[in-house]
Structure 1
Amino acid sequence: MSTVSDSVSFSAPGGADAGLTPKQLAAKYGLSVSGKRPSFSQYVRDLWARRHFIVAFATARLVAQYTTAKLGQVWQVLTPLLNCAVFYLVFGVMMKGNQGITDYIAWLCIGVFVFQFSQSAVLSGTRAISDNLGLIRALHFPRAALPIAFTIIQLQQLLISMVVLVVIVLFFQMPTMTWMLIIPALVLQSVFNTGLALAMARIGAKTSDMAQLMPFLLRTWMYTSGVMYSVQSAVDKWPTVFQVLFRMNPASVYMDLIRYAFMPNAYNKHALPDHVWVIALGWALVAGVAGFIFFWKAEEEYGRG
């Protein structure tokens, strides 16, 4: 369909069109505003039609990410392992955060790997629009493809790192049937991360300073989520309302699910309460749906200015 910019003014030609305003002429000849936001259902269809582009883009960016580093893709695994070593030294040895936690090293590594998935997805989403303005202005595609693609990149990195994580866990216990729970837990966390990435992509596109602020906010989130220590033990003597808030923390919820899946012995062989799965599902639905709608609402604004 032909398009006409809503910012262009022109004089109507003579004859039957004389005296018509630009909007009236556009309506008469079936013209539409260039870059107009599609309907929600159409937007979803357009995004689904480009699913192969999203996956290919994510894979290409992942391969190119470490091409200038001598160790290349090894950094995908080495970075979280180095973080684990630092956290173990500070929180496990110096601050005795390992007390009361079975197989603390494996427990800590799972927390670091899982939280880094959310952290990296949010950081990448925040810069998804501002760092890709050339692509956005050159090609027409649903802009949500970018934060979704960056979340897929982080998921791919996590899956690669999972190979090392499995080796670490095997030093402490053999596989059990609970390992099957890792799949639905990661699916729920991926949906949650995608919603956050979409929401932060819109905010980051409008506020460039957000990319500088996010590392501090995410660091605070990490320290209050129980990555290096048991948050349940830390808040046991707090008022009930604060205990509930800390235990509803989505990062803590997803870490608990995957920790239990890998290491049921760390939970004294008792299954997690069913409400933990309900909370995880709720966070995934709320963040996924709300983040997608929030991003779609500003679709026509990305890349302008």
Structure 2
Amino acid sequence: MPLTNEPKLIAGNANRTLANAIARRLSMHRGMSIDLCDARVERFNDGEIFVEVYENVRGEDMFIVQPTSNPANDNLMELLIITDALRRSSAGRITAVVPYFGYARQDRRTKARTPITAKLVANMMVEAGIERVLTLDLHATQIQGFFDIPVDNLYASPVFALDIKHHFKEGMDDIMVVSPDVGGVARARELAKRINAPLSIVDKRREKPGEVAEMTVIGSVEGKKCVIVDDLVDTAGTLCKAADLLMDHGAAEVHAYISHGVLSGPAVERVTNSKLSSLVITDSIEASSEVHRCPNIRIVPTAPLFAQAIINTWNGTSVSSLFEDKTLVPLYEGTYHA
């Protein structure tokens, strides 16, 4: 059977909605129908994962769309087992498209006798047969160095910049970008430069993980529409406290632009009842029905970004070009008008 000479997609169960959206975008770009590879990813009664690929993939350039979000262990195992199935079926090259990279917060040893799980996960992915990783907003950029294979880390900030310019076009002069902690200043500064806005910082001090003891605002936010920028929101406790603090310091409105909506536990309820005017997340993680129903949570699509990145990876052209407005704006034509 002849090769398709097109990128081929296969997906686990972690985010089928995004995988199908990427396939549709690829079909538009290529001018032909590109569907997800016909396969089944199922569980036996005892919870073991089983994968069977029904199409010939010999020599093909395969892209596995599978974020390793909650349940992280199941989704990670699905990714590894799909990879093994493709490798044993003589796939030409295997690229893991991991919109959300789980275990990224365990990227260093913070105290004695603790693991660096992000490195362990990187080793497992490489050993399984993955030859390239395509991801979005790694929690720590040094995780790219944990892999001995190429890692393309895409950024949500260019897409967020388009969204902000669209939704705040009448009041861009009032925007203040806020980093929720000192460690996130580089990420916030990148967005601030793109929209030509000033930068403020919320300095938080933790007594123990998950509990914030004290928060201080560095910079004047009075009368500003504050935009908090971060890579992920989990239980949303710190985010909602930051919103309260900014409002107490005279902010006119508080919005949040966060790449990965983990939103576990009481997060959605907290956001609903918070002083946040809006929380904007990407679709890197499959949103629950509760998230979709929340009136102040909005989801921006990443399928245009990932589809173009897959095409660029497949044909050997620059992925970093997607960080530039002149490349990105046409991809989101009809969605935003910057």
Same fold (TM over 0.5): no
TM-score, normalised with respect to structure 1: 0.29
Which fold has the larger relative contact order, with Cα–Cα distance below 8 Å and residues 6 or more apart in sequence?
Answer: 1
TM-score, normalised with respect to structure 2: 0.27
Q: Of the two, which has the highest radius of gyration?
A: 1
Of Structure 1 and Structure 2, the greater helix share is in 1
